[in-house]
Amino acid sequence: MDTIRILLVDDHQVVREGLRRMLELEPDFDIVGEAGIAKDVLDQTEILSPEIILMDIKMSDIDGIELTRQLKEKSPTTNVIMLTLYDEYLPQAIEAGARGYLTKDISRE
């Protein structure tokens, strides 16, 4: 069975670690990398070819919306799913190329 290759993107390491631990419990997911800054996201996307990038909207160096625009130019087939507490930014995220979103307060199921 093929697994879904996922890159985790959040500028807080504790969030990335929590997501990794939670998602590694799912047999269909393969966490191929993590990144906390835009340059690492762009580099890892090119090297690792994730199918999905779970990305925070609010990050310290560049916001996830602008980073999504850049990613979609470099890797149009990669699906970006925004992770957020700020649902007011979702229309801009979808317009930038995000495929959807998850709120950070959802349960694992």
pLDDT in tens, 59-70: 888 999 999 999
Which pTM value belongs to this model? 0.92
- Which residue has better confidence, 67 or 85? 67
Q: Is the pLDDT of residue 106 over 90?
A: no
Per the CB < 8 A criterion, the answer to whether 57 and 83 are in contact is yes
Q: Is the pLDDT of residue 1 over 70?
A: no
Name the pairing type of β-strands 52-56 and 29-35.
unpaired
**Three-class SS of 48-68:** HCCCEEEEECCCCCCCHHHHH
Residue 93: its pLDDT value, please?
92
Three-class SS of residue 32?
Answer: strand
Model confidence pLDDT, tens digit, residues 12-57: 999 999 999 999 999 999 999 999 999 999 999 999 999 999 999 9
